[in-house]
Amino acid sequence: MPRNIDKYLLFCIVYMCAKCKFGLLGHPLGHSFSRQFHNDRFAKLGIDAVYENYDLDDIQQLPALLQSQSDLCGLNVTIPYKQDVMQFLDELDPLAQKIGAVNVVRVHSASMKKDVPATKIPGVYLKGYNSDIVGFTDSLKPMLKGTEKAALILGTGGASKAIKVALEDLGMKTLYVSRTAAEGRITYEDLTAEVMQEHLVIVNCTPLGMFPKVDACPAIP
């Protein structure tokens, strides 16, 4: 998936003359390898840019962050803000709008957008994209045998929105699994042998299993 994220980051860089700053927005970020990955990549390609982690415990801190970082050109967005960040965006890429979640944000100076009377955050114009769907689809396709008709999506956060669209584009029916029941989703207690047999693809979109608690896993049979 990083190669798809790079596509948007490098797109930003091409149009900037001065040194650019990029970063990862989320909470918590102690597990993330993104900062080292991108800084190593910038150094290898000879790109004058830097990548930082922005660990915010409240998404409402985003306006202050952006106004204090005038050289910030773009953000990746991870758990738990892929949906919450959308309230601050001035524009959505059509695919991100269809998915209902964002994991890449391009940061423009508001002065570059003469046709926009006012931005949601003074001084910056934000456009959101979603590269999760491309990375997931490209990763999953080689594993499919063609007999998979339905999939379980564990979790209902921002990542799950892109996964649902990707799976349906591949011709599969989808079913959300969550800790609480609601319309269009079942609970882990509902995962009978029959349900598991009907859903040959299972995608974990929960934080369970992330570093450092790599042995944690969803409660599936």
Phi, psi for 67 (deg, rounded to 5): -75, -20
Q: Are 65 and 54 in contact (CB under 8 A)?
A: yes
**Residues contacting 16, CB < 8 A, separation 6+:** 73
User: Do strands 201-204 and 91-92 pair parallel, antiparallel, or not at all (unpaired)?
Assistant: unpaired
Q: Are 129 and 116 in contact (CB under 8 A)?
A: no
Give the residue, 15 or 148, on which the prediction is more confident: 148
Asked if the model's pLDDT at residue 8 lies above 60, the reply is no
pLDDT confidence of residue 12: 47
Q: And the tokens for 184?
A: 């269009």
| Of residues 48, 25, 51, the one with CA closest to residue 38 | 51
pLDDT confidence of residue 13: 45
Check if 114 is active-site. Answer: no
The chain-wide mean pLDDT, for the chain, equals 90
Phi, psi for 29 (deg, rounded to 5): -120, 10
pLDDT confidence of residue 94: 96
Distances (CA, A) of 105 to 78, 84, 211: 11, 13, 25
Q: In a 3-state reduction of DSSP, which class is residue 6?
A: helix
104: enclosing H helix or E strand: strand 104-109
Asked if the model's pLDDT at residue 167 lies above 90, the reply is yes
Beta bridge partners of 24: 53, 76
Task: For 15-74, write each residue's pLDDT tens digit.
Answer: 444 578 999 999 999 888 999 999 999 999 999 999 999 999 999 999 999 999 989 999
pLDDT confidence of residue 210: 86
Beta bridge partners of 201: 151
Asked if the model's pLDDT at residue 166 lies above 90, the reply is yes
Among candidate residues 82, 127, 161, 164, the one labeled active-site is 82
Asked if the model's pLDDT at residue 171 lies above 70, the reply is yes
Q: Are 142 and 136 in contact (CB under 8 A)?
A: no
Cα separation of 93 and 113, whole Å? Answer: 16
Asked if the model's pLDDT at residue 78 lies above 50, the reply is yes
Query: What is the rounded average pLDDT of the residues 136-165?
Result: 95
pLDDT confidence of residue 18: 55
Cα separation of 72 and 25, whole Å? Answer: 12
Query: What is the rounded average pLDDT of the residues 171-176?
Result: 97
Q: Are 122 and 136 in contact (CB under 8 A)?
A: no
